[in-house]
Amino acid sequence: MTKTTVYLEESLTLELRNVAELQGRAQAEVIREALHLYVDRESQKARRPAPVGLGTFASGRLDVGRSAESLLKAAARKRRTK
């Protein structure tokens, strides 16, 4: 384990002390558990699946953003000729 220092508001310190005492646990143990829960939750947010349909129509082209207008015009011309 690594030792770290955090500064807490006095009211939070008192609440932490009360929770630890009620649970019969060390304050450090309560803090570690709270941090684990927080980090796990935030990690899950970062690993959310991609929205449905994202990448479905991947063209493999890297210039689509810059060339969108000309690509759309070309596609419209092809459609009209069919």
22, 28 in Cβ contact below 8 A?
A: no
> The tokens 């807490």 sit on which residue?
8
State how far the Cα of 43 lies from the Cα of 64, in Å rounded to an integer. Answer: 31
Q: What's the domain count of the chain?
A: 1
Range of the domain at 34: 10-46
Residue 32 lies inside a defined structural domain of this protein = yes
Is 70 part of any domain?
Answer: no
Q: Enter the pTM of the model.
A: 0.55
Tell me the H-state helices in the chain.
Answer: 10-23, 27-46, 64-81
CA distance 20 to 28: 9
Q: What is the pLDDT of residues 1-19, one digit of tens each?
A: 899 999 999 999 999 999 9
What are the structure tokens assigned to 75, written together? 């596609």
Tokens read off for 81: 């000729």
Reported as a single tens digit per residue, the pLDDT across 41-79 is 988 887 777 777 766 676 777 777 788 888 888 888 887
